[in-house]
Amino acid sequence: MSRILVVDDNEINIQLLQFELDNEGHTTVAARSGREALSLLRQGATFDLILLDLYMPLMSGIEVLRALKADPLLATLPVIMVTASDLDDSMIEALDMGADDYVTKPFSFRVLAARMRTSLRLREVQEKLRATNRHLNMLATTDALTSLTNRRSFMQQSDREVVRSIRHQQGLVMAIIDVDHFKRVNDCYGHAAGDKVLISLAKELKGQVRECDILGRIGGEEFAICMPQTETEQAVIAVERLREAVESMEIDIGGQVLSITLSIGLSQLHGSDLNLIEIMREADLALYQAKNEGRNRCSI
């Protein structure tokens, strides 16, 4: 069943609740003060629901509730207030602060149990919704083939970095990477082999970039790296290393091994007011130049 934290300053109330909750098959833990409850929770004890007495000396139920709601790790825990009277502004305050429900002493345990079930059900639905949201967000920002950041998310993240770099007058370098003659890979070995190559390449790129770089697949066989806090000389070194690493890759496409090369265009933020689109356009022009100069190279 569920793990319930009972917070009450009154020993008799605690024993009564523990008796009934144990009978229902729940596991209960008691805290005799607000401080004790908060310290249990902050030490990482996990509960499905809290029964929180409103009137306690030193720290009232309202104060405990306020502390819970202010802590991102504890804010979603369901709380049912236990109070001596429902004709009380504190009860309204507690509900407005995010308490799920309340019961008035002396309460019928069957009613409390039903209200607990409602709170737990609600929380379960909320958790499912949150998990679905996380999953949808992941799908919306990830490229399905390579698991890299997709174009839209890459642009969003890079835009933030460009704005930040301008504000702090820091260097930023953008690299656009394009596989040379990739059409030939598809034509000679088939589209599935082409996909395998892209997956291997994505893995290699991921292994090459720094933690703070943003790497994305921005087109079919086009990738980009946004490098914040980076000067051009550093970026050239990094990108050359990456280009050479890819050049020496032996990509197994099932029985056969093949190699690819990359052309890379670089552009830099001049500490001026270039926006992301302009930076991308400059990198694209540099890429075009790298292709024209014979491919398998990097150009600025």
Task: Pick the closer one to ligand GH3 by CB: 6 or 290.
Answer: 290
182 near Mg ion (CB under 5 A): yes
Q: Are strands 222-228 and 172-179 parallel, antiparallel or unpaired?
A: antiparallel
Binds ligand GH3 (CB under 6 A): choice among 3, 42, 130, 181? 181
| C-alpha distance across the termini of the chain, in Å | 63
Distance from CA of residue 117 to its chain's centroid? 30
Task: Pick the closer one to ligand GH3 by CB: 53 or 180.
Answer: 180
DSSP 231: -
53 near Mg ion (CB under 5 A): yes
Whole-number Å distance between alpha carbons of 24 and 40: 23
CB of 93 vs ligand GH3, minimal distance in Å: 57
Pair 134, 114: CB distance under 8 Å: no
CB of 191 vs ligand GH3, minimal distance in Å: 4
Site residues for ligand GH3, window 209-228 (CB under 6 A)?
220-221
Binds ligand GH3 (CB under 6 A): choice among 156, 186, 208, 296? 186
Binds ligand GH3 (CB under 6 A): choice among 182, 232, 284, 297? 182
Task: Pick the closer one to ligand GH3 by CB: 42 or 191.
Answer: 191
Task: Pick the closer one to ligand GH3 by CB: 23 or 292.
Answer: 292
Q: Give the per-residue contact string, 271-300, with ligand GH3 (x = CB under 6 A; - = no).
A: --------------------x---x-----
Whole-number Å distance between alpha carbons of 82 and 5: 12
- Degrees, nearest 5: CA angle 154-287-299: 115
Distance from CA of residue 193 to its chain's centroid? 32
CB of 145 vs ligand GH3, minimal distance in Å: 6
Pair 266, 250: CB distance under 8 Å: no
CB of 169 vs Mg ion, minimal distance in Å: 33
Pair 21, 4: CB distance under 8 Å: yes
Active site annotation includes 11: no
Pair 52, 81: CB distance under 8 Å: yes
247 near ligand GH3 (CB under 6 A): no
Give 158's contacts (C-beta < 8 A, 6+ positions apart).
Answer: 174, 214, 216, 224, 226, 276
179 near ligand GH3 (CB under 6 A): yes
Give 131's contacts (C-beta < 8 A, 6+ positions apart).
Answer: none
Residue 147, φ and ψ in degrees, nearest 5: 65, 10
Name the active-site residue from 24, 127, 211, 221. 221
161 near Mg ion (CB under 5 A): no
CB of 245 vs ligand GH3, minimal distance in Å: 19
Pick the stretch among 75-83, 190-198, 229-237, 265-273 that binds ligand GH3 (CB under 6 A). Answer: 190-198
Question: Where along the sequence are the contacts to Mg ion (CB under 5 A)?
Answer: 9, 53, 55-56, 178-179, 182, 221-222
Tell me the catalytic residues: 221
